[in-house]
């Protein structure tokens, strides 16, 4: 049966960690892995998570299955976090949320739901997260890339992007990043978000919003602007949510899929279809991580602690950006990377060719995606001069 299956190459991004670990040089830098890191290179368990986990374990009496919607309390808590208290779409019964195995699980169920609903294509700004295209394509959706990121300025080709958006129709889907764009860090402004939503109101296409870094741009409320406005103004949308970064629950695989429909009846049909798809994919999500999130968000003390921890992580990322751009300026190539300070979240793109990326790896032990995407969490005061010296050399050559 399997004799004719070809051997596939390893995932390029996941393979970076293996290459980095195999590198025996004393000085090396990992800018590839997509996790938050402290200044000393750790990805710790949040204190709020430790306390919630301890409470859960002390009270837990069974390991029976959870409902396919997820851990008790999770969906309501994550909906209040993302959409805010008293959101009109929630009050009107137009929103249903279910827990999924990570943001990828939400994207897969959402993609299959869109396919069942007859979606013609998904349009995304280029570049987008490396796993978007294969994940959506695996659900049978055609993915079309349109202009978005201007590599020369570090900003957006917004007029070109809107030109493509204005051509979308009722059976089209527009993939949007909820904030902290991966891989570029270049986000839509509130005014630009308003224009995109207005286009959806006119043309009837449905947004699919991937929200993976809530709280890592400005703050939890400001970062939720796109999601809240879409749910308020549009009759239909899907929002996927990941708890990997802002709760530090990477390996626990905690995510959510938000279904937004025009009426309660429409949402009921969407809910039934999504739960059917979940049953055919993974049956029910793992309970542990979802229970941790619910415990945190339902406790005023733990929620306050968690919000402080998210704010601290976001502040460190912003400081890493400033540090990198300032050091590059001191080495006379600051103009090449100045936009990084204006961007948001963990990721940005360096103006490097693939050959220059390989040169950074071979000469300096600096590991990043072949596209030049870097995780700013890998930059700190101990390595920034070494990193910038290498970049200056490679950019010059």
Which residues are known to be catalytic? Answer: 129, 210, 245
Residue 1 to residue 229: CA distance in whole angstroms: 50
Sort 356 into a burial class: Cβ within 10 Å, 0-12 / 13-18 / 19+: middle
Nearest to 244 by CA among 298, 303, 184, 310: 310
Strands 121-126 and 143-147: parallel
Q: With beta carbons less than 8 A apart as the criterion, state whether 256 and 218 touch.
A: no
* Alpha helices (H) in 117-263, listed in sequence order: 132-138, 158-165, 190-203, 220-223, 225-233
Q: Cα–Cα–Cα angle for 320, 42, 213, nearest 5°?
A: 60
Question: Which DSSP category does 35 fall into?
Answer: S
Place of tokens 């997820």: 70
Q: With beta carbons less than 8 A apart as the criterion, state whether 245 and 80 touch.
A: no
Q: Which residues, in sequence order, are bridge partners of residue 96?
A: 259
DSSP for 42-106, written as a single string:
--PPPHHHHHHHHHHHHH----PPPPTT-STTHHHHHHHHHH-TT-HHHHTT-EEEEEEEHHHHH
Return contacts of 269-273, CB within 8 angstroms, 24+ apart.
270/96, 270/113, 271/96, 271/98, 273/113, 273/116, 273/117
Nearest to 146 by CA among 172, 179, 116, 107: 172
Return contacts of 306-312, CB within 8 angstroms, 24+ apart.
306/46, 306/48, 306/49, 306/247, 307/215, 307/220, 309/46, 309/47, 309/48, 310/215, 310/216, 310/220, 310/246, 311/215, 311/219
First to last CA, the chain: 50
Q: With beta carbons less than 8 A apart as the criterion, state whether 205 and 172 touch.
A: yes
């Amino acid at each position: 049966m399997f004799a004719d299956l070809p051997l596939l190459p390893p995932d390029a991004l996941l393979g970076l960690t293996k290459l980095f670990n195999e590198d025996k040089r004393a000085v090396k830098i990992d800018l590839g892995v997509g996790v938050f890191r402290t200044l000393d290179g750790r990805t710790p368990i949040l204190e709020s998570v430790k306390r919630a986990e301890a409470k859960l374990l002390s009270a837990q009496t069974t390991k029976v299955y959870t409902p396919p919607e997820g851990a008790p309390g999770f969906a309501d808590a994550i909906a209040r976090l993302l959409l805010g208290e008293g959101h009109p779409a929630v009050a009107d019964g137009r929103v249903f949320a279910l827990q999924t195995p990570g943001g990828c699980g939400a994207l897969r169920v959402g993609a299959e739901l869109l396919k069942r609903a007859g979606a013609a294509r998904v349009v995304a700004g280029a570049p987008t997260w490396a796993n978007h295209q294969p994940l959506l394509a695996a659900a049978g959706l055609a993915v079309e890339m349109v202009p978005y990121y201007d590599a020369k300025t570090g900003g957006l080709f917004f007029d070109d992007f809107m030109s493509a958006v204005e051509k979308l129709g009722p059976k089209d889907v527009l993939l949007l990043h909820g904030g902290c764009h991966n891989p570029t860090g270049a986000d839509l402004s509130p005014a630009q978000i308003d224009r995109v939503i207005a286009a959806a109101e006119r043309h009837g296409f449905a947004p699919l919003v991937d929200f993976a870094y809530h709280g890592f741009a400005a703050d939890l409320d400001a970062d939720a602007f796109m999601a809240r406005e879409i749910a308020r103004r549009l009759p239909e949308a899907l929002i996927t949510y990941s708890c990997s970064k802002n709760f530090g629950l990477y390996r626990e695989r905690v995510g959510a899929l938000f279904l937004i429909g025009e009426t309660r009846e429409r949402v009921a049909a969407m809910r039934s279809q999504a739960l059917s798809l979940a049953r055919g994919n993974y049956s029910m999500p793992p309970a542990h991580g979802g229970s941790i999130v619910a415990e945190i968000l339902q406790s005023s003390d733990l929620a306050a602690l968690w919000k402080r921890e998210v704010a601290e992580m976001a502040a460190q990322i912003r400081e890493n950006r400033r540090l990198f751009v300032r050091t590059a300026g001191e080495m006379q190539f600051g103009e090449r990377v100045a936009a990084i300070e204006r961007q948001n979240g963990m990721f940005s793109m360096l103006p490097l060719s693939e050959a220059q990326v390989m040169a950074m790896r071979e000469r300096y032990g600096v590991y990043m995606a072949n596209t030049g995407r870097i995780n700013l969490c890998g930059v700190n005061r101990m390595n920034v001069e070494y990193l910038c010296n290498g970049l200056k050399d490679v950019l010059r050559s």
